Amino acid sequence: MNHKVHHKHSKSLKRRLKRMAAAAAVAGAAFVSSAFMPGLPATAHASALPDNVIQPETTVQQMVKTSKGTFNLQTDSRTPLKKLARAQAKAAAQQAQQVNNQAMADKRAANKQITKKVQATPVTAKAATNAPDNFQKVLDVRATAYAPGPHDNGPWGDKTHIGTTVRPGIIAVDPNIIPLGSRVYVEYPDGTGQYAVAEDTGGAIKGNRIDVALSSVGQAYDFGIKNAKVYVLGPKA
């Protein structure tokens, strides 16, 4: 009795397995048909897709910073962004170098034209100095100016070191450089000059310095500071 029941269950199980196999075959055929025949729905589950199916490429856009600058790059997911950034930075550097080379070439060409113009311009002779020929020595000095009175000459007022009157035509000097009583010719950078006599001294007048006496404080301010040459002619006659 038990044996017959077991046999009947075995037949029923076999029939169910056959039906399941047939259903699986139909599902597989439907999946294949949908792949090659547009319009047919795919009945297979997504998990039935093999793992090595190539997925469509995705586009990636990203700002990438490099030592050459920041670049906005767009590429497919399989191309490294850093590689593209390096390539773009290299191209930008090459372009900048080309621009710099062109600028240098233009500058050299302009300098060449200027050189030609300078060479074509005749050189004019330097204006002859008005200094006398019979000088004993010539000194390069810094020249300032002062006026008579307490504003510039303090307690000495209108008097010089040797007791004469402060007036245009005299200068204050360092006696160790230019002896007091010397007659001199002072030549200024613009080529003008004046004869004067060294009759005064000053606390700040040391070394190659002179102080030129003028009529007023305003004139002394306007004189400023000048580089000058002093031709020492000798003692005043």
Task: Give the tens place of pLDDT for each residue, 216-235.
Answer: 999 999 999 999 999 999 88
For residues 43 and 76, membership in a common domain is answered with no
Amino acid 97: pLDDT:
83
Average pLDDT of the segment spanning 16-45: 54
Q: Using CA atoms, how far apart are residues 26 and 21, in angstroms rounded to an integer?
A: 9
Do residues 163 and 193 both lie within one domain?
yes
Q: Same domain for 143 and 219? A: yes
Residue 10: its pLDDT value, please?
A: 58
Backbone φ and ψ of 7, nearest 5° = -65, -40
Residues 146 and 192 in one domain: yes
Q: Which of 178, 185, 180, 198 is nearest to 230 (CA)?
A: 185
pLDDT, one tens digit per residue, over 137-167 is 999 999 999 999 999 888 899 999 999 999 9
pTM more than 0.75: no
Tell me phi and psi for residue 97, to 5 degrees: -65, -40
Question: How many Å apart are CA 168 and CA 148, to the nearest integer?
Answer: 10
Residues 31 and 64 both lie in one domain: no
With respect to residue 175, please indicate whether it lies within any of the assigned structural domains: yes
Position 22 in a domain: yes
Q: Name the pLDDT band for 79 (thresholds 50, 70, 90).
A: low
Which residues have CB under 8 Å from 156's CB, separation 6+?
none
Q: Is residue 115 one of the residues assigned to a domain? A: no
Beta carbons of 88 and 73 less than 8 angstroms apart: yes
Bigger pLDDT: 62 vs 184: 184
Residue type, 202: G
Angle, CA of 33, 37 and 40, to the nearest 5°: 70
For residue 108, how many other CB atoms are within 10 A of its CB? 10
- pLDDT range class, residue 72, cuts 50, 70, 90: low
* 146 in the same domain as 91: no
Cα 199 to chain centroid, rounded: 54
Q: Are residues 221 and 197 in the same domain?
A: yes
Residue 121 lies in a domain: no
Q: What per-residue confidence (pLDDT) applies to 179?
A: 95
Q: Say if 39 falls within a structural domain.
A: yes
Q: Is residue 177, in this structure, part of any structural domain at all?
A: yes
For tokens 């600058």, the residue is 69
160 plus 208 within the same structural domain: yes
Task: For residue 219, give both structure tokens.
Answer: 């004139």
More confident position, 71 or 48 = 71
Residue 221 and residue 144 share a domain? yes
Predicted local confidence at residue 52, as pLDDT: 47
168, part of any domain = yes
- Give the CATH number, domain containing residue 177: 2.40.40.10
Among 208, 201, 227, 228, which residue's Cα sits nearest to residue 146? 201
Structure-model confidence comparison of residues 60 and 44, the more confident one: 60
Half-sphere exposure of 70 (CA within 13 A, CB side): 2
Of 214 and 80, the structure prediction assigns the larger pLDDT to 214
Taking 60 as the threshold, does the pLDDT of residue 19 lie above it? Answer: yes
**H or E stretch covering 200:** strand 193-200
Q: Are residues 169 and 82 in the same domain?
A: no
Task: Identify which has the larger pLDDT, 151 or 116.
Answer: 151
- The boundaries of the domain holding residue 71 are 59-110
Q: Answer with the residue of higher pLDDT: 32 or 59.
A: 59
- pLDDT category of residue 11 using cuts at 50, 70 and 90: low
Domain assignment present for residue 125? The answer is no
Longest dimension (CA), the chain: 169
Does the pLDDT value for residue 207 go beyond 70?
Answer: yes
Query: Do residues 104 and 181 both lie within one domain?
Result: no
User: How far, in Å, CA of 139 to CA of 135, rounded?
Assistant: 11
d(CA 14, CA 1): 21
Average pLDDT of every residue of the chain? 74
Structure confidence at residue 63 as a pLDDT band (50, 70, 90): low
Provide the CA 70 distance to its chain's centre, in angstroms.
Answer: 21
How many structural domains are present in the chain? Answer: 3
Shared domain for 141 and 63, answered yes or no, is: no
Give the whole-angstrom CA distance, residue 29 versus residue 224: 109
